[in-house]
Structure 1
Amino acid sequence: MADRHIQGEDGQDGIRTLAFPAERSVCGVGMRVGSMDPGHTWHSDAPLDRIHRIDFHAVMIFDGGPVRHMVDFTEYEASAGDVLWIRPGQVHRFTATSGYLGTVLTMQPGFLPRTTVEAAGLYRHDLPPLLRPDAPRLAALRASLAQLRREYEDAATLPLSLHTALLRHSLSAFLLRLSHLAASSAAAARRADTTFTLFRDAVERDFATNHSVSAYADALGYSRRTLVRAVRAATGDTPKGFIDQRVVLEAKRLLAHTDLPIGRVGAAVGFPDAANFSKFFHQHTELTPAAFRAELR
């Protein structure tokens, strides 16, 4: 499987972004589905317990557990019947344990048409990775995934072009079920508030240059009080806390995945002064940027 660094030298302890293993998929199509192997690794040089990123979607439906899995520096515990959805670019780490039992689907970005990507919310990074469907929804997901797996493994009865087209349809059906589950969860339902959605999208676009709650409120045409009320209802946090957490997450990603000097990491997330960045990072993580990077290397 191909792998690459985001930036910097390819050192022995570097954090890698691992590419979709097209050469391992049936007929080289842009997706794979199969059983989770307790000893599975995306790459021979990337052990289960090493932090890395993938440039593709990974959906795991668990038959066993519990398993602890880190996604974007938050630990999640998955058990039988749970679903873990890791999106491209998210930092994650397996736990070296035999508890990874179930079915895993991986999908290369670009395999599905844009309309399906948008309808399924494939890049809704604000949604939690861990989903806990009720029994009827889990049964529907399992049935849809089982059908997709049968189509994926049957590469002999259709020409490749039709086989690929059929896979896209079956994959779309599964992902639409999955996205509906994510969007209908209690947390996702709260996030559907229009005011919060507009604020969230604005922060995602501008967090590297704008840390001001008043500036976001003015740009969106809301009073500061309205924004505070909407964000607190959706997340339990303040608008300033929401902005800061997004900045911290990006800083962690850059510290983990690049060899950029601390000052340049700070500048990339809106802190031209390295000392101010270090103070901000320490305030939110109780670690200096250098200490956080050292823990991962």
Structure 2
Amino acid sequence: MRSTTVLRGTPCIAPPAGEPPLHRLELPDPDAAPFAAGSFEEMGPLSWTDHPHRHTFYEIIHLTAGSGAHVIDFARWPVRPPHLAVILPGQIHHWQGDRDVDGTLALFTEDFLVDHPGDREVLRQLARAGWFTLDAEDDTRIGRLMADLAAEHRQRAAGHETVSRALLHVLVVRAARLPEHSGGTGPTQITGPVEAAGTSQITGPAGAAGTSQVTGPAGAAGPVRSPARSGALAEAFTRLTTRREAVAWSVRECADRLGVSPGHLTQAVRAATGRSPGQLLIAARVYRAQQLLAHTELPVRQVAARLGFADPAYFCRFFRRETGSSPGDFRKHHRRHHQSIATAQTHA
């Protein structure tokens, strides 16, 4: 997972043709904890860019000022602070028409959740909600935690990693108590399967299917040792589906990589999630297709090929069956004027 981070000033890796860039977390030195916190200004201009992009890391935003909108995957959230937002690795997001956005960001990879690995699932649940409008009391409480995280990162006093991990855990738990969209306005555009008549109900990498998206270079293929418990095996499977190449794998191929039989994998995943591995792989495939259609200029036949479909017509039937919409109609509904950006001069 350390390949989700880079040293400060490292140029971005050029993304596959037509796709939004993938930003990695910048660290001051190789031994630094995979964590950063501070204001938008301290985190740099990429933290408020209007260009669609992805991360290899989690981002928690406490927004205290500004206007415009924040687009996360296929939902456009009006900016009327104070807000709290959670963005998962692989989600595509950007700011629209922002004016004087201000607040505090916490950025971290999965490595940083070592003391509280259960926070991964809580963060996925928070990302399903996407956007919280805070009342005065919650805004004050969240603001103090974010300020403490930023101070620990800035001062780097003895034990700052331990304190930061503890504060982050408290922040995640407190955020999980927030009422969804309390006192605020929902997204002006929720898209895809949420609106469609199809069977896949996906709201992003942490959608109903429980899948998550790309975590960056760490998603290289390779065998994974079989976890002892069903819950751990289901978690390992969920993390496996975040690999870009996994959208074209069968349940048997996933089971082979996890070192278990397809039957054992099916039992464990169904017990933990209520859904079969095949259903979760389909959901991951549909979500990836939606990202490529909404945020790239790739022809439908190339989108199909990247998802492992040799026949574009079959891909179109698959997409319509799962979402209730054709790839062309989905793209037309969600097309933006600039889908991808040049990244040669940006940092990771």
Q: What TM-score does the superposition give when structure 1 sets the normalisation length?
A: 0.64
The match for 2:77 is 76
Q: Which has the larger radius of gyration?
A: 1
Cα offset for 1:278? 4.0
The match for 2:165 is 168
- Unaligned 5+ segments in structure 1 are 188-195, 211-215, 222-226, 228-239
- Secondary structure (helix, strand or coil) at the match of 2:41 reads coil
Cα offset for 1:98? 2.6
- Secondary structure (helix, strand or coil) at the match of 2:85 reads strand
Report 1:173-252 matches (<5 A).
173-181=170-178, 200-201=208-209, 248-252=286-290
The match for 2:96 is 95
Cα offset for 1:56? 1.1
Deviation string, structure 1 residues 110-157 (Cα, Å, up to 9, x no partner)? 1121634437622347612211233322221112222222322222x4
Q: Does 1:274 align with 2:312?
A: yes
Q: Does 1:7 align with 2:16?
A: yes
Cα offset for 1:287? 5.3
Quick one: structure 1 residues 245 and 99, their matched pair in 2 at CA, closer, same or farther if it must change by over 3 Å? farther
Q: Does 1:22 align with 2:54?
A: no
State whether residues 52 and 295 of structure 2, in contact with CA within 8 Å, keep that contact through their aligned partners in structure 1: no
State whether residues 88 and 127 of structure 2, in contact with CA within 8 Å, keep that contact through their aligned partners in structure 1: no
Task: Report the Cα distance in structure 1 between the residues aligned to 2:117 and 2:281, rounded to whole angstroms.
Answer: 30
State whether residues 66 and 98 of structure 2, in contact with CA within 8 Å, keep that contact through their aligned partners in structure 1: no
Q: Does 1:31 align with 2:35?
A: yes
Quick one: structure 1 residues 121 and 14, their matched pair in 2 at CA, closer, same or farther if it must change by over 3 Å? same
- Unaligned 5+ segments in structure 2 are 1-9, 187-200, 202-206, 213-237, 242-246, 251-265, 341-348
The match for 2:219 is none
Quick one: structure 1 residues 41 and 119, their matched pair in 2 at CA, closer, same or farther if it must change by over 3 Å? closer
Task: Report the Cα distance in structure 1 between the residues aligned to 2:96 and 2:181, rounded to whole angstroms.
Answer: 29
Task: Report the Cα distance in structure 2 between the residues aligned to 1:121 and 1:5, rounded to whole angstroms.
Answer: 31
Task: Report the Cα distance in structure 2 between the residues aligned to 1:62 and 1:178, rounded to whole angstroms.
Answer: 14
State whether residues 294 and 331 of structure 2, in contact with CA within 8 Å, keep that contact through their aligned partners in structure 1: no
* Larger RCO, structures 1/2 (Cα 8 Å, 6+ apart): 2
Cα offset for 1:5? 4.2
Cα offset for 1:271? 5.2
Aligned-pair RMSD on alpha carbons? 4.7
The match for 2:4 is none
Q: Percent identity?
A: 20
Corresponding residue to 1:283 among 310, 326, 330: 326
Task: Report the Cα distance in structure 1 between the residues aligned to 2:14 and 2:152, rounded to whole angstroms.
Answer: 34
One-letter code aligned to 1:86: I
The match for 2:147 is 146
State whether residues 60 and 85 of structure 2, in contact with CA within 8 Å, keep that contact through their aligned partners in structure 1: yes
- Secondary structure (helix, strand or coil) at the match of 1:33 reads strand
Quick one: structure 1 residues 261 and 85, their matched pair in 2 at CA, closer, same or farther if it must change by over 3 Å? same
Quick one: structure 1 residues 76 and 244, their matched pair in 2 at CA, closer, same or farther if it must change by over 3 Å? farther
Number of positions where the alignment pairs a residue of Structure 1 with one of Structure 2: 250
One-letter code aligned to 1:7: P
Q: Does 1:127 align with 2:142?
A: no
The match for 2:291 is 253
- Secondary structure (helix, strand or coil) at the match of 2:78 reads strand
- Secondary structure (helix, strand or coil) at the match of 1:122 reads helix
Task: Report the Cα distance in structure 1 between the residues aligned to 2:336 and 2:96, rounded to whole angstroms.
Answer: 20
One-letter code aligned to 2:137: P
Cα offset for 1:20? 0.5
Cα offset for 1:251? 0.6
One-letter code aligned to 1:286: D
Cα offset for 1:220? 6.5
The match for 1:42 is 46
The match for 1:263 is 301
Task: Report the Cα distance in structure 2 between the residues aligned to 1:245 and 1:202, rounded to whole angstroms.
Answer: 9
